[in-house]
Structure 1
């Protein structure tokens, strides 16, 4: 007959993760959506075109160069006013990234309702490096005379 000693047993029984479904599972996706909507509403009512309303971009303040995010808040403000072309002119990347965020949070909410976790895309390395290179080219181009049309307004 085998005996087990208390030292051989784990101090606590293993916890089983309870999967939440339905309304109870929507907490984190709703929090992310609320934060995004809150930021968009703030940018709609407090105009970033007014000098000093949000401060300055640290990259622009230190180097005088536009980073990939410069003009992003103005782009969202223009988008909430229905001025799509002005939004794209302020920051060409802001609108697609805003759409991607909305799609990600929407998909996360649907998956959470079903009791699944968020879908984290498994992007191949060449695609990640390509996206990084595009951001770098965009940053360099918008700081040259040839890409002045990409500079935030």
Structure 2
């Protein structure tokens, strides 16, 4: 079993904890199990796939311009931090890892 260094040091789940099990569950077609491991990475994976498809269309210049904006990186960081805090709050369930 692969251990998360952040979880090993702090006892808290980082935003990526459960990601490897999520990918394994997706590989077996278990979407519910994958969602239970890490819903944030599931959404991120879907957004990455959509972005990849859009980069192959006429929308490529607009998508590239959007991806180059620093606000997008800051927003992604803010979402990851909020997710990490929320999944470590007592009594919060459904944010994995299981």
Deviation at 1:139?
A: 0.8
Cα RMSD (Å): 2.9
Q: Which runs of 5+ in 2 are unaligned?
A: none
Superposed CA deviations along residues 58-100 of structure 1, whole A, max 9, x for unmatched, are 2112211111111112112112212111111100111111111
Deviation at 1:136?
Answer: 2.0
TM-fit CA distance, 1:106: 2.0
CA contact (8 A) 2:38 2:97 kept: yes
CA contact (8 A) 1:108 1:117 kept: no
Indicate yes or no: 2:80 matched with 1:135.
yes
Change beyond 3 A, Cα 1:120–1:146: farther
* TM-score normalized by the length of structure 1: 0.51
Q: Which 5+ residue runs of structure 1 have no aligned equivalent? A: 1-50
TM-score norm. by structure 2 comes to 0.73
Is it true that 1:95 corresponds to 2:42 in the alignment? yes
Closer/same/farther in 2, CA of residues 118 and 137 from structure 1, 3 Å limit: closer
| Equivalent position of 1:144 in the other structure | 89
Residue 60 of structure 1: SS of its match in structure 2?
helix
Structure with greater helix share of residues: 2
CA gap of 1:124–1:64, structure 2 versus 1, over 3 A, is same
How many residues are matched?
A: 96
Q: Which has the higher contact order (CA 8 A, sep 6+)?
A: 2
